[in-house]
Chain A
Amino acid sequence: MKNFFLATYLAVKEVARNKGRFLLVAMVIALITVLVLFIAALGEGLSNANRQYVANLDAELIVFLEKSDYNISSSRLETNTVKAVRRVEGVADAGPIYTSTSQIVSLPEPLKITILGVEAARPGMPTLLEGRYFRGGEAREAVMDASVAERTDLKIGDEIEIRSTQGTKDEFYTLKIVGLVDKQAYFFQPTIFIPAATWELVRPQSESELNSDTPYPNIIAVKLTDPTQVDVIKTRLQNEVANIEVADIETTINNIPGYTAQQGTVQTQGVFTLLIGILVIGGFFQIQILQKVPQIGVLKAIGSSNFVVGLSAVVQIIIVTAIGVGIGAGLNYLFSLVLPAAIPLAFNGTWSLVAILLLLFIGPLGGMVSIIYAVRIEPLKALRLG
C-alpha cells in the first residue's frame, strides 16, 4: 500500500509539473480515441443501415428459395409456400416479405426508399410506434419507418407519391401514410411497408412481369412456438416443404450482399488504429524513459525499490491514457451532437465502452517496453557508472 502511494505520488507530481509535454501525448491519444470511436460508430451505423430490418424481425428463421445462397434479392418463392410453412409443426406464424426499391417523388428532393410488402400483424411487419396498420388487399396505405420521417417532414396522414418504372413507362402511385415504426432501415435506404397486393401493383416491373398479378415473396419470416428449437424446426422445414432452404437470422444478416466485407473492412481499420495508438504511446514513453535514466538512477540509489519505480511508470501511463481517452470521448460526444443524419454513424453504448476499455489498455501495453526498461536501470547510473 505504501509502495502504491509512493508510486502514485511520483507519477502525479511528474505529470502535474510537465503538463505541456503530457498534454501533447494525451491529445494524440484523444485523437486516436475519436478515430476509434468514429470507426466503431461507422461500423455500427453502416451495419444498421444494412441489416436493421432483418436484425429486428420478430422471427427466428428465414425461408429462402432453394439454392438462392441465402441472398434475399435472388430468392423468389411460390405464393403457396407460406401456407405450407405455416402447417409445419412448431411454427407459430409465418409472414411473406416482398422487397423492392422505389422513389418518393412528392418531395422537394426525391428520396430513394425500400418498399417492403408484408402482411399486417404477421412476422415481417414490425410493431407500430404510432398510427395503425394498413388495411389488407390493395389498400393504398403505407407505414413508414422513422428514418423516412427524419429525412423528410412526413407525418401520419400525409400522402406520398412514388414513381416506379413498369415496362417502358413511369407510373405514379399515391399512398397514404397511416402508421410509424422505427429502426427498420434495409439496404442503406429508409423503408416503407405496404400490403403485399399493393406492392405487386406499385413496384417497378419489367414488361413481362406486368402480365402476371401474382406476387412472389422473396423470403418468409418464421416465428417459432419454442424459440430454442431453431435447429430442429430448421431441419423439419427443409424436409417437409419443397424447394426451400432455411437460415437463422445471423446467417441471413451475414449473407446480405457486402455485409461481411464491409464489417471486415471497418474492423480492420479499427484494429490498425489501435495498433498505431500502441506504437505512438510506446514510442513516447520509451524516449521519455531514455531521457530519465540518471534521474531514475538517483531514485533507486537513494532507496526506491524497482517495484516503486516500475509501478510509478505504469500509473503515469494509465493517468495520461485516461486523460487522453477522456478528452477523446468528450470530443466524440460533441461531434455526435452536431453530425447530420445522412452520415451513417450510430454511437452504440456497448461498443463505445468496449472501444474505450481497449484504448485504456493500449497505454500500458504500449508502455510495456519502457516500463521494463525503467525497472532494469541500474542505480549506479546516478554515479555515472554501470
Chain B
Amino acid sequence: MNTVALEVRDLVKTFSLDGATLNAVDGVSFQVKSGEFVALVGPSGSGKTTMLSILAALLSPTSGQVLIDGQDLAKMNEKQRVRLRREKIGFTFQSNNLIPYLTARENVEFMLRLNNKRDRAGRMRSDELLARLGLAERLHSLPSQMSGGQQQRVAIARALIHNPAVVLADEPTASLDTERAYQVVETFAHLIHENDRAGIMVTHDLRMCQFVDRVLQMQDGKLVRIYEDKNEIMELAQGILKH
C-alpha cells in the first residue's frame, strides 16, 4: 500500500506553435502510491492528456523526471520504453479501445501474449477478471457486438490482467451514459484497490471523482489544487464545491 509506484518531479512540456511557445505542462510534481486511485481533472486544454501521454512513455517531457516503479523514463531508449509500456503500464482509452478483430477474451489475453505470460493460470485469471466485470457471457463477442460500457470494461480487464505497476485511464466514461459511467468507474476503483495498483484517471466529469482517493486539478499546465480530504472530494463530485 505504501510503495510509490509513480513519481513526477518538476515536469515541463513545451510545444511550439507558429513560433510561440506553449507550456502544456508547467512544473508539475506529484506521487501516486500502489493501491491508490487518483483522478486528474481540469478543463480542456489544461494539459491532462499531455500529462497522461508523458506518464505512458508516449511523449518525452521537455524537462523534469518521471519514475515508474523506480525506473526513470528519461534514461530509457525507445525499445526499453516499449517494454515498459507492456510490462508496467495498463491502459484504457477514450475510444477505439479494443482491437476490433479480437474477441473480449482475446483482447485481454493479447496483453498476456505480449508479455509471454499466456499460460494456464493467466488464461484462468483473464476469464475470472472478465466475469468480475460482468462479461462472463461475452467472452467470445467482438467489440462491434458489445455496448460502449462493455467495451470499456473489457479495456479495464486488459489494463489490469498483466499486473502493471500503473494503470492509466483516459476519459473512461466519455462515451457512456451516467449510470453505466458510475458502474464502470466504481468497478475500476474496486479492482485498483483490490489488486494494489496505482491508478490514474483523466476525466472532465467531476462526478466520477467520488470513487477516487485523491483529485489532482490542473489548469493551464499547472497543478493548481490537490483534494485529499474525503469530504471535500465528495462535495466536489456532487458539484457543491466549485473548483
On whether the two chains bind one another, the answer is yes
Task: Say whether A20 faces chain B, with CB atoms less than 8 Å apart.
Answer: no
Given contacts A6-B113, A6-B114, A301-B85, contact A382 B93 (CB under 8 A): yes
CB distance from A253 to the nearest CB of B (A): 54
**CB-contacts of B86-120 with A (<8 A):** 86-87, 89, 91, 93-102, 106, 111, 113-116
Q: A301 and B106: CB pair below 8 A? A: no
B97: which of A6, A9, A298 is its contact (CB, 8 Å)?
A298
The CB with the most chain B CB atoms within 10 A, among A2, A300, A301, A305, is that of A301
Choose, from B32-40, B46-54, B221-229, the stretch at the interface: B46-54
> Contact mask A290-325 → B, CB, 8 Å, 1/0?
000011011111111110000000000000000000
In the bound complex, do residue A385 and residue B82 qualify as a contact, i.e. CB atoms below 8 Å apart? no
- Interface flag for B127 (CB, 8 Å): no
Residues of B within 8 A of A287 (CB): none
Question: In the complex, A299→B94 CA distance in Å?
Answer: 14
- A13 on interface, CB distance cutoff 8 Å: yes
Query: What residues of B have a CB within 8 angstroms of the CB of A303 in the complex?
Result: 82-83, 85-87, 89, 111, 114-115
| CB < 8 Å neighbour of B58 from A2, A10, A305, A383 | A383
B124 is an interface residue with CB less than 8 A from chain A:
no
Residue of B with least CB distance to A380: B58
Of B79, B114, B142, chain A has the most CB atoms within 10 Å of the CB of B114
Chain B min CB distance to A320 (Å): 14
Chain B residues near A2 (CB-CB < 8 A)? 116
Cα distance A386–B50 when bound, in Å?
A: 10
With A13-B101, A383-B58 as known contacts, state yes or no: A302 contacts B96, CB within 8 Å: no
Known contacts A379-B58, A384-B94: A302-B101 contact under CB 8 Å: no
> Does B79 lie within 8 Å of A305, measured CB to CB?
yes
Bound form: Cα–Cα A303–B79 in Å: 10
Residues of A within 8 A of B102 (CB): 13, 17
Question: Of A13, A304, A383, which contacts B114 at CB under 8 A?
Answer: A304
Residues of A within 8 A of B142 (CB): 17
Residues 221-279 of A at the B interface (beta carbon under 8 Å): none
Given known contacts A6-B114, A13-B106, A295 and B96 CB-to-CB distance under 8 angstroms: yes
| Least Cβ–Cβ distance between B107 and chain A, in angstroms | 10
Q: Does A89 contact B (CB under 8 A)?
A: no
Say whether A161 faces chain B, with CB atoms less than 8 Å apart.
Answer: no
Q: A14-B101, A385-B49 are in contact. Are A302 and B58 (CB under 8 A)?
A: no
- Residue from A13, A18, A295, A383 with most neighbouring chain B CB atoms (10 Å): A383
Q: What separation, in Å, do the CA atoms of A143 and B3 have in the docked complex?
A: 98
Q: Which residues of B contact A14 (CB under 8 A)?
A: 101
Of the listed residues A10, A302, A378, the one surrounded by the most CB atoms of chain B closer than 10 A to its CB is A302
CB proximity to B under 8 Å, residues A334-386: 378-380, 382-386
Q: Tell me the complex Cα distance, A6–B82, Å.
A: 15
A380 and B91: CB pair below 8 A?
no
Separation of A162 and B131 alpha carbons in the complex (Å): 89
In the bound complex, residues from chain B placing their C-beta under 8 Å from that of A305 are: 79, 82
Contact B99 A301 (CB under 8 A): no
B56 lies within 8 A of chain A by Cβ? yes
A299 to B142, CA, bound (A): 16
Judged by a CB distance under 8 angstroms, whether B22 is at the interface is no
A375 to chain B, nearest CB (A): 12
Residue among B53, B101, B111 making CB contact with A383, cutoff 8 Å: B53
Chain A residues with CB below 8 A from B53, complex form: 380, 383, 385
Assess the B58–A298 pair: CB atoms within 8 A: no
Q: How far is the CB of B79 from chain A (nearest CB, A)?
A: 7
Decide if B59 is an interface residue (CB 8 Å cutoff).
Answer: yes
By a CB distance below 8 angstroms, the chain B residues around A9 are 113
User: Is A383 a contact partner of B82 (Cβ separation < 8 A)?
Assistant: no
- Min Cβ gap A351→B in Å is 38
A294: nearest residue on chain B (CB-CB)? B96
Closest Cβ–Cβ distance, residue A164 to chain B (whole Å):
72
Name the residue of chain B whose CB is nearest to the CB of A300.
Answer: B82
B196 at the interface (CB under 8 A from A): no
Contacts of A297 in B (CB 8 A): 96
Cα(A294)–Cα(B49), bound, Å: 16
The answer, yes or no, to whether B170 is at the interface (CB within 8 Å) is yes
Report whether B50 and A385 are in contact in the complex, using a CB–CB cutoff of 8 Å: yes
Which residues of chain A have C-beta atoms less than 8 A from B79's C-beta? 305
Residues of A within 8 A of B101 (CB): 13-14, 16-18
Q: List 5 A-B contacts (CB under 8 A).
A: A13-B102, A295-B99, A302-B158, A306-B82, A383-B56
Known: A6-B114, A301-B93, A383-B58. 14 other contacts (CB 8 A): A17-B142, A295-B96, A301-B58, A302-B91, A303-B87, A303-B89, A303-B114, A303-B115, A304-B86, A378-B58, A379-B58, A383-B49, A383-B94, A386-B58
User: Which residues of A line the B interface, CB within 8 A?
Assistant: 2, 6, 9-10, 13-14, 16-18, 294-295, 297-306, 378-380, 382-386
Per CB-CB distance, the 4 closest pairs between chain A and chain B, nearest first, are A303-B86, A17-B101, A294-B96, A303-B85
Give B contacts to A, CB under 8 Å. Answer: 49-50, 52-53, 56, 58-59, 79, 82-83, 85-87, 89, 91, 93-102, 106, 111, 113-116, 142, 158, 170
